[in-house]
Amino acid sequence: MSNAATLKSSSITPEKLKSMLYDMMVIRNFEETLKKLYQQGKIHGTMHLCIGQEATAVGACVPLTKEDKITSTHRGHGHSIAKGTDVMKMMAELLGKETGTCKGKGGSMHIADLDVGNLGANGIVCAGLPLGTGAALTSKMKNLGYVVLCFFGDGATNEGAFHESLNLASVWKLPVIFFCENNLYGMSGSIKEMTNIENIAERGAAYGIPSETISGNDILTVVEAVERAVERARNGEGPTLIEAHTYRWEGHSRSDARKYRTREEEKDWKKHRDPIALFKQKLIEENILTEEEYGEMEKKVQTLMDNAVEFAVNSKAPDLDTLMTDIYA
Amino acid sequence: MREITYSEAIREAMSQEMRNNQDVFIMGEDIGVYGGAFGLTNGMIEEFGPERVRITPISEAAISGCAVGAAMTGMRPILEIQFSDFIMIAMDNIVNQAAKNRYMFGGKAKVPVVVRLPGGSGAGFAAQHSQSLEAWMTHVPGLKVVQPSNAYDAKGLMKAAIKDDNPVLFYEHKMLYPVKGEVPEEEYEIPLGKADIKKSGTDISIVATGIMVNRAMEAAAELENEGINVEVIDPRTLVPLDTETILESVKKTSRVLVVYEAVKRGGYGAEIASMIAESDAFDYLDAPIRRLGGVAAPIPYNPELEKAAVPQVNDIIKECRKLMNK
């Protein structure tokens, strides 16, 4: 596992480094806020939180331009925020309001924002891979120059569509990055029980795709790996498979009692591998950030979230006559 | 007028649209120099090249999603599924992705993809290569479903399907591929959602789909000799369905027979029959609505068993006599 990304080797400006930390803080606060709203009965249905996985979401999107595209998963709030989807509209969507990203018709699992290259979260495990492969085909056929990054979890790598998509993208040399957030569990299924190989990245070799396993909780490592993959894609060298190890702090969804893993394991990841704490520490050590500045950022994030909740709560529910609109173009 | 086959008509429609619009391309298994399992794409790779006539691995789950993803981002793919039966492997991308993206995303996406599906029995391909499962697709909001019965309609409907901004499932009948019909060379479209009265009549309205339109026409000619004057309606597209043309016919004839090749139970003919029963045309009926469909068995291999599994011309004739109490 390559793990040695340092600020010295990074060409990222201090301002950008701080904005990366800020985006991670926004994601965590967004998810924490949703937890509270859920407990207050303000959120309908369920949701899948990505607390603990902020470095993969933000890090993978840093090398992408607005024209580049992502496909996301059921655990997709972080991906959407990282790609630039408006947090106010996302909050309104979670509350099912007409001002939401999808007019209240999609909810947590279907947030999409085509204007910023977000081709959508997805309620079907692995479904983003064939779709992303198709979006990459458009880029190639129309010579548009954009790349597509597909987020998916470890569980998705046992779907047929994973294998078919990697093969197809490889034989057509498509500009796509397959980015696996290996958070060790597909719902309750431990990756150790569900696959018989050490690293998911090994699967890339079967399709002639360069692959690597990295620490997904060190954002600079994530950025560097995706930069390499983006460069390959833009140069017409085809897809890359990246496996980023990370951990979701919460259960799979709201109904999960987490009987399949230990509290010790959770504590260990939270205490020693919190991606936000690690990055903050690094920025402070390298004199890029002060505790004071961090405190200011926390306040700014909280204000943003308070405004988002206020906007969402005060927004109107969709009219009932929108039930039958947007079905056909 | 010039006569060409049903398969040539579909190829001509695709080729014309590919010449008109660079965003249109076709992808599928063995559609290159092989020409596709039914020879439908013969010559296309020579004209358009391998970028726009894309041969794919045997990976229905990936190629269907790839077509949907390409459609969402600005292309207008035509996906050939080698046999319509193989759509089961592509189902998630059709049903959970293509059909729902626009709605789930609050109206922001459009998915202009045409999925070509050779279906139907009669060729001796048995249970996994001969089905008529179009009713499954009609059940899913967000999809359009087309089922041409002749070469002229196939060309015009294919052109409309390619120009449509929604996912269109285009059911072709493999026994119709070699059947010739009059087809003008010039460009024309048949709007999706417009039925066609193939033969007008006064005694019975037969609403038939796909190859059953042809069998209903044969039956109608035979019945004419017995003094039974049948009207034959071809909906041409199942979704959207031209209910008006069907209901007007029923009001005129007061008797209706719905004929479809798919298993009768749960087939699209049940929807057509229910639609008529729920409408004001019900009051005009002189006899119960009748349906003829396939038996509830997998399509068998033996040619006599295969024929017995789906409605034939004689079955239609007998059913019409019953309707007329003859």
Chain B touched by A120 (CB under 8 Å) = yes
- 3-state class (DSSP) for residue B168: strand
Q: Are residues A136 and A246 in the same domain?
A: yes
Is residue A108 within 8 Å of A77, Cβ to Cβ? yes
Q: Decide if B3-182 and B196-323 have a common fold.
A: yes
Q: Are residues A201 and A293 in the same domain?
A: no
Token duo for residue A254: 């709201």
Chain B touched by A160 (CB under 8 Å) = yes
Cβ within 8 Å, pair B74-A142: yes
Task: Select the residue from B66, B76, B115 to test the A interface by mutation, using most A Cβ atoms within 10 A.
Answer: B66
**A11 confidence band (pLDDT: 50, 70, 90):** confident
Cβ within 8 Å, pair B92-A171: no
Can you tell me the distance from the alpha carbon of B59 to that of B290, in angstroms, rounded to the nearest whole number?
Answer: 41
The radius of gyration of chain A from alpha carbons, rounded to an integer in Å, stands at 19
Is residue A215 within 8 Å of A132, Cβ to Cβ? no
Find chain A residues with C-beta within 8 A of B144's C-beta: 328
* Phi, then psi, of A314 in degrees rounded to 5: -85, -10
Q: Where are the domains of chain B?
A: 3-182, 196-323
Can you tell me the distance from the alpha carbon of B320 to that of B230, in angstroms, rounded to the nearest whole number?
Answer: 9
pLDDT value at residue A254:
86
Whether B129 sits among the annotated catalytic residues: the reply is: yes
**Can you give the residue range of the structural domain that contains A293?**
274-306
Can you tell me the distance from the alpha carbon of A171 to that of B61, in angstroms, rounded to the nearest whole number?
Answer: 16
For A13, A63, A261, the CA distances from A282, given in Å and listed in that order, are 14, 20, 30
Which residue in the set A130, A135, A328 is minimally distant from B61, CB to CB? A130
Q: Hey, what amino acid is at B155?
A: K
Q: Are residues A216 and A139 in the same domain?
A: yes
Q: Could you report the per-residue pLDDT of A164-174, keeping only the tens digit for each?
A: 999 999 999 99
Q: Are residues A194 and A292 in the same domain?
A: no
Q: Are residues A172 and A292 in the same domain?
A: no
Can you tell me the distance from the alpha carbon of A312 to that of A269, in angstroms, rounded to the nearest whole number?
Answer: 33
Question: In this structure, is residue A248 part of a structural domain?
Answer: yes
User: How many CB atoms are located within 10 Å of the residue B77 CB?
Assistant: 29
Task: Select the residue from A98, A137, A325 to test the B interface by mutation, using most B Cβ atoms within 10 A.
Answer: A137
**A325 confidence band (pLDDT: 50, 70, 90):** very high
Question: In this structure, is residue A195 part of a structural domain?
Answer: yes
pLDDT value at residue A3:
46
Cβ within 8 Å, pair A327-B103: yes
What is the bridge-based pairing of β-strands B204-208 and B230-234?
Answer: parallel
Residue B92 sits at the vertex; the CA angle it makes with B91 and B93, to the nearest 5 degrees, is 90
Token duo for residue A181: 């957030």
pLDDT value at residue B59:
98
Q: Are residues A70 and A209 in the same domain?
A: yes
Find chain B residues with C-beta within 8 A of A45's C-beta: none
Closest residue by Cα to residue A200 from A152, A269, A267:
A152
Can you tell me the distance from the alpha carbon of A118 to that of A131, in angstroms, rounded to the nearest whole number?
Answer: 12
Q: Are residues A72 and A214 in the same domain?
A: yes
pLDDT at A114 over 60: yes
Can you tell me the distance from the alpha carbon of B23 to that of A36, in angstroms, rounded to the nearest whole number?
Answer: 47
DSSP secondary structure, A23-79, as one string: HHHHHHHHHHHHHHHHHTT-S-S-----TT-HHHHHHHHTT--SSSEEE--SS-HHH
pLDDT value at residue B326:
83
Find chain B residues with C-beta within 8 A of A129's C-beta: 62, 65
- CB contacts < 8 A (A, B): 147
- Tell me what the pLDDT averaged over chain A comes to: 96
Please identify which of the residues B102, B129, B155, B290 carries the catalytic annotation: B129
Question: In this structure, is residue A281 part of a structural domain?
Answer: yes
pLDDT value at residue A224:
97
Find chain B residues with C-beta within 8 A of A329's C-beta: 102, 110-112, 165-166
Can you tell me the distance from the alpha carbon of A179 to that of A129, in angstroms, rounded to the nearest whole number?
Answer: 10
Which residue in the set B96, B103, B141 is minimally distant from A124, CB to CB? B96
Closest residue by Cα to residue B170 from B3, B296, B6:
B6
Residue for token pair 């007008």 = B200
Interface of B to A at Cβ within 8 Å reads 23, 25, 51-52, 54, 56-57, 59, 61-75, 77, 92-93, 96-97, 101-112, 141-142, 144, 165-166
Task: Name the packing angle between helices B60-72 and A128-141 (round to 10°).
Answer: 60
Q: Hey, what amino acid is at B158?
A: M
- 3-state class (DSSP) for residue A114: helix
Total domains in the fold of chain A: 2
Chain B touched by A127 (CB under 8 Å) = yes
Find chain B residues with C-beta within 8 A of A318's C-beta: none
Q: Are residues A169 and A301 in the same domain?
A: no
Token duo for residue A88: 């106010």
Question: In this structure, is residue A174 part of a structural domain?
Answer: yes
Which residue in the set B64, B69, B102 is minimally distant from A329, CB to CB? B102
For A272, A273, B258, B291, B326, the CA distances from B320, given in Å and listed in that order, are 79, 76, 11, 11, 8
Cβ within 8 Å, pair B165-A329: yes
Question: In this structure, is residue A31 part of a structural domain?
Answer: no
Task: Name the packing angle between helices A14-39 and A291-314 (round to 10°).
Answer: 40
- 3-state class (DSSP) for residue A245: strand
Q: Are residues A64 and A205 in the same domain?
A: yes
Cβ within 8 Å, pair B74-A138: yes
Q: What's the complex ipTM?
A: 0.95
pLDDT value at residue A2:
45
List per-residue pLDDT tens for chain B, 326 residues long: 999 999 999 999 999 999 999 999 999 999 999 999 999 999 999 999 999 999 999 999 999 999 999 999 999 999 999 999 999 999 999 999 999 999 999 999 999 999 999 999 999 999 999 999 999 999 999 999 999 999 999 999 999 999 999 999 999 999 999 999 999 999 999 999 999 999 999 999 999 999 999 999 999 999 999 999 999 999 999 999 999 999 999 999 999 999 999 999 999 999 999 999 999 999 999 999 999 999 999 999 999 999 999 999 999 999 999 999 98
For A69, B44, B115, B118, B157, the CA distances from B48, given in Å and listed in that order, are 28, 6, 19, 23, 22
CA B123, chain centre distance (Å):
17
| Tally of helices (H runs) and strands (E runs) in chain A | 11, 7
The HSE-up count of residue A17 (CA atoms within 13 Å, CB side) is: 23
Among A253, A283, A314, give the residue marking a domain's end.
A253
Which residue in the set A110, A114, A127 is minimally distant from B65, CB to CB? A127
pLDDT value at residue B66:
98
Token duo for residue A121: 């979260």
Question: In this structure, is residue A35 part of a structural domain?
Answer: no
- 3-state class (DSSP) for residue B291: strand
Cβ within 8 Å, pair B102-A141: no
Task: Select the residue from B58, B103, B113 to test the A interface by mutation, using most A Cβ atoms within 10 A.
Answer: B103
Beta-bridged to residue B234, according to DSSP, are B196
CA of A96 vs chain B CAs: smallest distance (Å): 12
Cβ within 8 Å, pair A114-B65: no
Q: Could you report the per-residue pLDDT of B227-237, keeping only the tens digit for each?
A: 999 999 999 99
Q: Are residues A292 and A205 in the same domain?
A: no
Is residue A164 within 8 Å of B29, Cβ to Cβ? no
User: How many CB atoms are located within 10 Å of the residue A272 CB?
Assistant: 10
Contacts made by residues A2-5, CB under 8 angstroms, sequence distance 24+ = A2/A212, A2/A213, A2/A214, A2/A221, A2/A225, A3/A214, A3/A215, A3/A218, A3/A221, A4/A221, A5/A218, A5/A220, A5/A221, A5/A223, A5/A224
CB-based burial, B269-293: b 16+ in 10 Å, e otherwise: bbbbbebbeeeebeebbeeebbbbb
Per CATH, domain B196-323 is 3.30.9.10: no
CA B321, chain centre distance (Å):
28
User: The CATH number of B3-182 is which of 3.40.50.920, 2.130.10.10, 3.40.50.970, 3.30.980.10?
Assistant: 3.40.50.970
**Does the CA dihedral B132-B138-B143-B148 come out positive or negative?**
positive
Q: Could you report the per-residue pLDDT of A242-288, keeping only the tens digit for each?
A: 999 999 999 999 889 999 999 999 999 999 999 999 999 999 999 99
- Segment (H or E) for B14: helix B6-20
